[in-house]
Amino acid sequence: MTDIDRPVVRPRRLRTTAAMRDLVAETNLSAGQLILPMFVREGATEPLPISSMPGVVQHTRDSLRKAAAEAAEAGLRGVMLFGIPEHKDATGSGGIDPDGILNVAIADVVAEVGEELVVMSDLCLDEFTDHGHCGVLDAQGRVDNDATLEQYAAMAVVQAQAGAGLVGPSGMMDGQVAVIRAALDDSGHTDVGILAYSAKYASAFFGPFREAVDSSLTGDRRTYQQDGRNAREGVREALLDIEQGADIVMVKPALAYLDVLRRVADAAADFGVPVAAYNISGEYSMVEAAAAHGWIEREAAILETLTSIRRAGADMILTYWATEAAGLLRR
């Protein structure tokens, strides 16, 4: 061997075996940190595949219960439910109807899995409005923030009555967390928590989700969802939600906003508030499409994606791979 300075510090020593790598791993991913989003369609007699999200379906009430039981058996600790009604209107009244599809689905899943899973419910009007926006519209066709808050308050109470453990306001209306917290407390649901979609960006990666919920949206949501060029604003929104009583704050999407996730996690840590991230439909579909073409190793890409979100600061991850990933982690 030539006369060279041999390195004394050799980081590779800590990578020599799988056991060694596990021993010194800085980031760990477990089934209990994963939350499965699920869609349930009113009137469906069989699960309906979502073409842009291979492997994901619009559930019937029966198949939803079965999928929730499988999620619990896999070791997950949460599911997030979205409802798809047969009929929509301008005010999204189906979301406030105790017999509406989302509210009966909440009750179905609570009855199926009891306390094995935290049953979470999307608290937004976009699936229920015929215009597809997340709130009610004023005479000029703009989303009316304060009128929408009244609808959110009523929706929160109905979801709590159905058995939701966490409600997830996702509409990005100013003051939504404070209004929902007051409505829940005033109706005696002080134990129902709020998982606030705090830093939710107007994203091109939401595309497949629009198919998943049969969205009626025309135009866009840029006047209320956040501008992707802004990171400080995401932290500000999260801190406002914490001030208003959010129990958990969330960044959505995840992959294109890992820097925001890191900043929000650091800020939320000062208040002891957990942080969630949503690995959204377009992020899921990109991996599935690339894997279908043989361009990437699918299972490795799934775990690498979810680990990156954990490493950036997420305490929990909403992902359509949740049940499958739990199995991969066991292996």
- Residuewise pLDDT in 10s, the chain (331 residues): 567 889 999 999 999 999 999 999 999 999 999 999 999 999 999 999 999 999 999 999 999 999 999 999 999 999 999 999 999 999 999 999 999 999 999 999 999 998 899 999 999 999 999 998 889 999 998 999 999 999 999 999 999 999 999 999 999 999 999 999 999 999 999 999 999 999 999 998 887 888 888 777 777 788 889 899 999 999 999 999 999 999 999 999 999 999 999 999 999 999 999 999 999 999 999 999 999 999 999 999 999 999 999 999 999 999 999 999 999 999 8
Select which of 252, 277, 279, 280 is catalytic.
252
- CA torsion, points 222, 316, 264, 198, in degrees to nearest 10? 30
- Nearest 10 degrees: Cα torsion 297, 303, 309, 312: -100
Q: Is 66 a catalytic residue?
A: no
Strand, helix or coil for residue 120: strand
Q: Is 201 buried (19+), middle (13-18) or exposed (0-12) by CB count in 10 A? A: buried
Cβ burial, residue 77 (10 Å; 0-12/13-18/19+): middle
Residue 200 known to be catalytic? yes
Helix (H) or strand (E) holding 60: none
Q: Which two tokens stand for residue 90?
A: 């301008």
Identified catalytic residue from 65, 181, 200, 221: 200
Handedness of CA 257, 262, 265, 267 (dihedral sign): negative
3-state secondary structure of 150: helix
| Residues 269 and 284 sit within 8 Å (Cβ to Cβ) | no
